[in-house]
Amino acid sequence: MDRRHLEYFVAVAEQGSFTRGASSLAISQPSLSHAIAFLERDLGAQLFARTSRGTRLTPAGEALLEPARRALRSIDLARGAVQAVSEGEFGQLSIIANTLWAVDPLARMIGTFRILHPGVRFSVADPARRSEVLESVRVGAAELGLVDGRPPVGVLESRWLTNHELLAVIPPNSSLTGQSVTFEDLLTLGLVSTPEGTALRALMDERLEEVGRPSDVAVETAHLASVVPMILAGAGASLLPQGLARAAAEKGARLVRLEPPARASVYIVWRSHGLSSLGHHFLDVTTNAVLADRSEEDPGRP
């Protein structure tokens, strides 16, 4: 078994089929099948089972997946350490964050770090559901993740980054007037949100529970990018973090402060004893920069 066999195995597991796995690796499917067959003979166990819907992991394959990911990351870190000395390269960081926090603060964090270390490459994944962030970091699919709300104590460690004020985003011709509105006021317009389990919906649901109106959403869309266009078209209103809210205002939406104010606390998470030296350096550089930027805006932690 070598790095190539593990890389091929992980590709098939993540893509769900040999065809898509071969495409992602830019190799032929017969070559991929041959390599997986060699790995199965070497381990003495079948790793994949073919179904009518594609390929699924056997129990042996499921047991191998996380150690294989860790082994590949360790190899990459070893290669990165050598490159750091010989070429000034630092390797790659994988991060998972939903769009709300990828816009801010993650974009500024990556920008700050790459100005200092242009040799570092980043891959940023967008989870389908909020819970996927913690799970992806826990199993090693991503090294770092950004979430709102303090994560539960366990195998993951976390560090507070910032508090984001949530602003009411309403149609340009809304009947609501004034410099502030209550959450109940927004309900008269109807809420536009993403489905249950997403980060935006979690922010909405917290406020809906507070006013005794659980799941009272007028327009539920799986496309976060469609929330603002729907507001502009008069379909309803929403709550968005400052960065996305200001971008909505540039397109014509009205921004109004919520009374009482609502805030979302953003944390960065990583596996205990599983963070690379590059990950540690990224944390130290970027979280200090974020805290410095937010020192006046966020006088107190959650």
Mode of pairing for the β-strands spanning 54-57 and 92-97 = unpaired
Arithmetic mean of pLDDT, 182-211? 90
Instruction: Band the pLDDT of 1: cuts 50, 70, 90.
Output: confident
Q: What is the CATH number of the domain that holds 13?
A: 1.10.10.10
Instruction: Band the pLDDT of 175: cuts 50, 70, 90.
Output: confident
pLDDT digits (tens, 9 = 90+) for 65-123: 999 999 998 888 887 766 664 333 567 899 999 989 999 999 999 999 999 888 889 99
Segments forming the whole domain that contains residue 220: 163-264
Q: Is residue 185 part of a domain?
A: yes
| Number of Cβ atoms within 10 Å of the Cβ of 62 | 12
Q: Is residue 217 part of a domain?
A: yes
Q: What is the CATH number of the domain that holds 181?
A: 3.40.190.290
The predicted structure's pLDDT at residue 54: 78
Hey, is 269 helix, strand or coil? strand
Q: Is residue 134 part of a domain?
A: no
Q: Is residue 273 part of a domain?
A: no
Arithmetic mean of pLDDT, 238-243? 91
Domain boundary among 69, 92, 110: 69
Nearest to residue 234, comparing CAs of 181, 166, 170, 168? 170
At 281, list the tokens. Answer: 């350096």
The predicted structure's pLDDT at residue 86: 36
The predicted structure's pLDDT at residue 155: 76
Q: Is residue 126 part of a domain?
A: no
pLDDT digits (tens, 9 = 90+) for 139-173: 999 999 999 988 887 879 999 999 988 999 999 99
Whole-structure pTM value: 0.66
pLDDT digits (tens, 9 = 90+) for 251-279: 999 999 999 998 999 999 999 888 888 88
Q: Is residue 18 part of a domain?
A: yes
Domain boundary among 231, 249, 264: 264
% of the chain at pLDDT higher than 70: 92
The predicted structure's pLDDT at residue 300: 45
Pure H helices in the chain: 3-15, 18-25, 29-43, 59-86, 99-101, 107-116, 131-139, 183-189, 199-210, 227-232, 242-250, 277-294
Query: Is 296's pLDDT higher than 50?
Result: no
| Number of Cβ atoms within 10 Å of the Cβ of 13 | 20
Q: Is residue 85 part of a domain?
A: no
Domain count, the chain: 2
Average pLDDT over the chain reads 87
Q: Is residue 131 part of a domain?
A: no
Domain boundary among 69, 103, 119: 69
